[in-house]
Amino acid sequence: MTIDRPHVANLAPSDAARPQPGRVNDEAADRSESAVLTAYLSHLTSQGHQVKRHRVVTDPALASTDLFDATAHELVMACHRSHYLALIAALGVLSDCARFFGPARRALLLTAEPGPAAREFLSHHEVVAIWPEGESFARADPAAEAGRA
């Protein structure tokens, strides 16, 4: 199958984030990722961030990132799991899609606080971890952690 050159397609804030292209249907995962993404988008815009919803259009079998926070220069992908294989897949998607956004930090938006192993993995690969915490969001930023070391 051939496609046009890969490109970024802009989405409206209300467009569904899921299902991801090429991923086996998982309605519970789609709902939880859409919910955390919607809440995070609302959180960022309430803080005055310029946020763009998008889908990177490549081969239909590949997944895509979800939003670009132009204010913080962060490329964000929502993910409902933080086990090793899910993190490896998310890191690959984030790394591939980052080429369309210039110099940007990569961030994984999780539906729950990641455990120590997941945080260490993401930190090692310089990926920001973000998760809901009460009415706001917490983050583990490898750049900030390196500054404290």
Is the alpha carbon torsion for 124, 130, 131, 137 positive or negative? positive
Number of Cα atoms under 13 Å in the Cβ half of residue 79: 30
Cα–Cα distance measured from residue 140 to residue 17, given in angstroms and rounded to the nearest whole number: 23
pLDDT in tens, 50-80: 998 887 777 666 667 888 999 999 999 999 8
pTM for this entry: 0.85
Q: State the angle between helix axes of 116-124 and 84-97 in degrees (0 to 180), rounded to the nearest 10.
A: 30
Domains, the chain, ordered by start: 27-148 (3.40.1350.10)
Q: 134: alpha, beta or left, given left = phi > 0 and alpha = psi -120 to 50? A: left
